A and B are shown apart, each in its own frame.
Chain A
């Protein structure tokens, strides 16, 4: 079946099997930031934004995103410049093995749009579907708090 949708602002038209998942379609289209982790809706490594909201691409049919808009981490950096959230993650040492980071960036971005001044607990609560087995979330939480502060114009 034919499915048309936007990824990071670019229109794609693809032919897929009815049972094909968005994770596979996106990776076939070259969006390799979207990671194939647990494949059972547990780890969050495959998170992408669907119309601005984080969802799990491993358990989303490609057929259901017809006419919708997807954002992956490839859509965050502009001309090689990292976005604020990406830069903060690097600066705070939140990236170790890095496998969870693409999913984490799209989720953290959605969090900050929903709640521009999150508390530490709210951040940890929102990231509960993005498993990171390296950092213990301390550095990631610091990074998100920093971006929130910076965007409010406060000195961190």
Chain B
């Protein structure tokens, strides 16, 4: 383990440190340090963001919430307005790891890890979050994440914060199916947001995790659902659409075939949950 560890005090110093080749930016380290232990990466330098006070904040106004890059999952769960304003994000974060992991890991770290199984990430896709980069750009989450472990973050830049626009929904849902209940990585995860009109869906957003190289929003299913009433017939049609659109692989956690079946079966939760819309 021959790497150096540096903990800059401010963002200017951070920018200088991360421009060097072989440097990795770290906050809680709950993903990075495990990857080092498994020999997947061998950094020359680790630069910690944890002492930089300007990255540790939660701001809120009428339109959005802004989450600084060193805010941990536990801090978000403790932030009272979150559960009220973004229940789907609260539910997703609550399933991440354990209290020990949530006390160190951050939501921005979940984004930077860019895993197709990222739980917080799935909620951010549903909520149309934007990632604010240190060069001033704000990028939609589905454009920021490219493939497993890869984002468009330019070398020498860092993520300052996540912007989540406020939106009102009547129903929200998040579920992850794993090999067990605790400390698990999803075989398939699903989340949705539903706004009801008069006896029909006014607006629906739906996303799946672990079934494609990134989190998958099914925009055509969302479009199709507008104006439809949620009943068994509707769910039957949608569940077939879902099966055709997800694109999972075989891996240690489950086969592609099982994942496809799981995705379409999970759609029946809409009926089981008793959503009247």
Contact = CB atoms under 8 A, between A and B. Distances in A.
Interface of A: 1, 17-19, 39-42, 44, 47, 50, 53-56, 59-61, 63-64, 107, 110-111, 126, 128-131
B3 A129 contact: no
> How many B residues touch the partner, as a band?
20 to 34
Contact of A128 (B4, B30, B34, B182): B182
A40 B5 contact: no
A18 B48 CA distance: 12
Given A40-B37, A50-B103, A129-B183, A64 B98 contact: no
Contacts of B29: 59-61, 64
Interface of B: 1-5, 7, 29-30, 33-34, 37-38, 46, 48, 50, 74, 97-101, 103-104, 181-183
B98 A130 contact: yes
B34 A40 contact: yes
B5 A128 contact: no
Nearest to B36: A19
A26 to B, nearest CB: 15
A122 to B, nearest CB: 11
Contacts of B101: 41, 56, 129
Residue among A55, A111, A128 with most chain B CB within 10 A: A128
B104 A44 contact: no
B33 A63 contact: no
Contacts of A42: 183
A115 B101 CA distance: 18
Given A53-B74, A64-B50, A18 B99 contact: no
Given A18-B3, A54-B103, A44 B98 contact: yes
Contacts of B48: 61, 63-64
Given A59-B29, A59-B33, 8 more contacts: A1-B5, A17-B1, A59-B30, A59-B37, A61-B48, A128-B98, A130-B98, A131-B183
Given A61-B29, A129-B183, A18 B97 contact: no
12 contacts: A18-B5, A19-B1, A19-B2, A19-B3, A19-B5, A42-B183, A54-B103, A56-B100, A61-B46, A110-B99, A128-B182, A131-B183
Contacts of A50: 103
B103 A59 contact: no
Nearest to B94: A125
Contacts of B7: 63-64
B100 A129 contact: yes
A48 to B, nearest CB: 9
Contacts of A111: 99
Contacts of A56: 100-101, 104
Nearest to B38: A40
A61 B104 CA distance: 12
Contacts of B33: 41, 59, 61
A118 to B, nearest CB: 12
